[in-house]
Chains A and B, each alone.
Chain A
Amino acid sequence: MTSTKATPAPPAHPAAPQIPKTPTGIEGLDAITDGGLPTGRATLVCGGPGCGKTLLAMEFLARGALQFNEPGVFLSFEETARELTLNIASLGVDLNDLTRRKLLVLDHVRTDRHNPEASGDFSLDGLFIRLGHAIEAIGARRVVLDSVESVFDGLPNRLILRAELRRLFGWLKDKGVTSVITGDGSDRALTRHGLEEYVSDCVIELAQHTVGQASSRRMRVIKYRGSTHGSGIYPFVIDPSGIVVLPITSKGLAHAVCDDRVSSGIADLDTMLGGAGYYRGSSVLVTGSAGTGKTSLAAQFCDRACARGERALYFAFEESSSQIIRNMRSIGIDLAQWVDKGLLRFQATRPSFAGLETQLMLMYTAVKSFGPQVVVVDPLNGFLIGDNVDEVKFMLMRLADMFNTSLITGLFTSSGIGDHANGSHEASISSLIDTWLILEHLEMSGERNRTLSILKARGMPHSNQIREYVLGSSGVHLSDVYIGPRGVLTGSARMTQQAQEQADALLTQNETERLRLAIASKQRALEAKIELLRDELSLQEEQARRIIGLEESKARQLQQDRAAMGIYRTRVAPAAPGAKHEAGPEQP
């Protein structure tokens, strides 16, 4: 016992009994609510006018009928059945058909027209009977009361109405139908008449925000009794398929990483990035002021990706696709071929065309449908309208998350326009970025030249060098920069430096050659001298040898002469000149 007390005992059991849920079928919403709305209970959907309450409610019924075979009753207090049918038809749902198939009952409750006079006590039994009749007619499992608060406009005596609505919600629960009740919100309260006091199992708030000139829609689950739910503010859009909610951000950071690398499209840059380029699924930020070549870098990235047979999606927020294609042709990048082959898709919109969330959703759906390996967002800073850095950061986080989990390599460009405030914007998003490349203008000797450096590259050794970034006639390449006495040299200064070095080298080479020749000639001269001496030596040697030989033969002669003379003396001494005959007697 004591030991169990000591442990904190986390109650988070994976198999904890969840309350039963009814899926809405709306993409994303079921994810946020961990499976849908509470079955057999009422959910309050509140928000200001035009934020999509009716659509959400209608989609709940239509998808219930079509996807889950659960018939539904739509009690509309505002729009007529005809208006509703027309409005929803734009999303491709034919309510008349659903009605014919007994999957839907549309009832328009007119409360505002007659403004009846009250004389005494009354009840809303008429409404109960209508609803009950409709539910029974088709065996409805889902019910929508769209702006039930309108009864307060049409009928007198708020006290009675409040009591009656409370009774209505209890009655719906007893019926076991899953209901959606919409209510108009105001600044002060979720609903005008405090419906949230009665409908409190699940409350979802929809809102429409306007930032700058763009509006965006958001959704928030305020409460959900007996269930976990996402607690963030989720963007949603109304697109031709209905409401799409982006369930943001993976809850954790547990996405699998990939060791696979993707070429940056520039061989030299790959070399700088540990020799292999970016990690697949990572996010790359390219910052630089206007004209530093961000788009070119992005275009080359796409171009090479397409050349490898990958698919690339290019979100352009400043230029149209044809502009980009034309401009890139000038540096020898032919993007049109990839567009024709279906490997490259441009999605060009003005950032102010829609709110951040809408843009995000559009990007989300485009990525989902195209399935690219490479995505370019060019540029990000179009979204920085006013003071919405945090929102842009949030959006970037979602994008980066999405790319990460789908192993898409994302390249974002951003122009700081050289001002420090924007620089700090970039700093605030930098934590989401895996690789950050900086493109800069270097102004020197009457020129502007582009340079590229790597500010960070998570998880890989990378070059610390500033390289010159050259937009050539066959794309982008990097060239080595020259470090001169005044810092890094680029452009013609670099060329001058190069020429200078070449000249220097030539000079040195000449000098060496000259020295070498001099040495050689000296050597030759010396060798000649040596030869001469050697000749002389051998001459002298020869002479000496000859003299020595002469002397020797002289001495021998003398000895012979003496011997012959001796013989001669011992015998009859012949005449001295007969020396030639000396040998005569020895011969025989």
Chain B
Amino acid sequence: MKLVQNNPEGRAGPSGATDLAAYALRLYIAGQTPKCRAATINIKTICETYLAGNYKLEVIDLVDNPALAASDQIVAIPTLVRTQPLPVRRIIGDLGNTERVLAQLDLVPRPA
């Protein structure tokens, strides 16, 4: 059910073991709305840029899994949840502001 986009194309990180990825992220969306599409693209870009090989990203479409909305306490869409490392962090919105997303994820922006 879960649309898992996990270290695409076997680009294994330095650790090699994706299950032990330092970063576990979940992006909750509801259908393919512009906002959701934008969020999906934005987070993928950020992950690839900053966490390549060291992350696990799940994109969960609540239209397909409505029950998860309640169990995972989702109100706003899109919502990005960092489940690892602790503490759990939440960012809502289309994730267009990269600096804010990085700050929330405790990542240091890389000079362009």
Q: A-side interface residues toward B, CB under 8 Å? A: 107, 109-111, 113-130, 132-134, 151, 154-156
Contact = CB atoms under 8 A, between A and B. Distances in A.
A121 B35 contact: yes
Contact of B35 (A122, A134, A151, A156): A122
Nearest to B34: A121
B98 to A, nearest CB: 8
Interface stretch (B8-16, B50-58, B59-67): B59-67
B4 interface: no
A392 B104 CA distance: 60
Given A114-B88, A117-B104, A119-B101, A126 B69 contact: yes
A341 to B, nearest CB: 58
How extensive is the interface on chain B, given as a class? 20 to 34
A126 B94 contact: no
Which of A111, A123, A128 has most chain B Cβ within 10 Å?
A: A123
Contacts of B73: 109-110, 113-114
Nearest to A164: B76
A149 to B, nearest CB: 13
Interface of B: 28, 30-31, 33, 35, 38-39, 62-63, 66-67, 69-70, 73-79, 88-97, 100-101, 103-104
Nearest to A77: B75
B91 A116 contact: yes
A125 B93 CA distance: 12
Given A118-B91, A130-B69, A125 B96 contact: no
Contact of A123 (B69, B70, B76): B76
23 contacts: A109-B73, A115-B90, A117-B89, A117-B103, A117-B104, A118-B91, A119-B91, A119-B96, A119-B101, A120-B39, A120-B94, A120-B97, A122-B92, A122-B93, A123-B35, A123-B76, A125-B76, A126-B77, A126-B79, A127-B76, A129-B62, A151-B75, A155-B75
B92 A119 contact: yes
Contacts of B39: 120
Contacts of B93: 118-122
A73 to B, nearest CB: 11
A126 B68 CA distance: 9
Given A119-B91, A119-B100, A133-B70, 18 more contacts: A111-B75, A113-B73, A114-B88, A117-B90, A119-B95, A119-B101, A120-B94, A121-B35, A121-B93, A123-B76, A124-B77, A126-B76, A128-B30, A129-B62, A130-B74, A133-B66, A133-B69, A156-B92
Nearest to A107: B70
Contacts of B103: 117
Contact of A132 (B33, B66, B96): B66
